Amino acid sequence: MIVRLEVQGKMSIKKTELMPFVKFAQSLNLIVHDRKRKIKGTFREITTKKIIKRDIFDAVVIGKGTPEETYKVYLRYFNHTIEEGESEREFVSAEWEKVEANTNL
């Protein structure tokens, strides 16, 4: 959604309001879990065909809780909110980052 703000009748400023990711996922009728996990994703940029590995971030777990389903929704959200100069992204693979056990107990 583009919001146009008038400032003293002299200028107008464009501001893009982004829907929060959780609301976006809910709008797709997907289950959104209360927990986050670190995900490691790989995607391909559509315009350059370049494969980008190690897209690592804390992700809200989506749907059945698989990394593939969760990462695909994040890519769909990114492609939905793409800005000028950015390329759409296509899913290649995803996995949960391994949790290291604390051995100092």
pLDDT of 11 higher than 90: no
Q: How far apart are CA 82 and CA 16, in angstroms?
A: 11
Q: Find the mean pLDDT for residues 64-75.
A: 97
Which pLDDT tens digit goes with each residue over 32-64?
Answer: 999 999 999 999 999 999 999 989 999 999 999
Residue 79 has pLDDT above 90, yes or no: yes
Residue extents of the structural domains in the chain: 20-96
pLDDT of residue 5: 43
**What are the CB-based long-range contacts (under 8 Å, 24+) for 51-55?**
51/92, 52/89
What are the strands of the beta sheet with 32-45, ordered from one edge? 51-62, 32-45, 89-96
- Give this prediction's pTM: 0.78
Q: Name the percent of the chain in helix, strand, coil, to the closest 5.
A: 20, 45, 35
- Identify the weakest region by mean pLDDT among 14-18, 74-78, 84-88, 90-94: 14-18
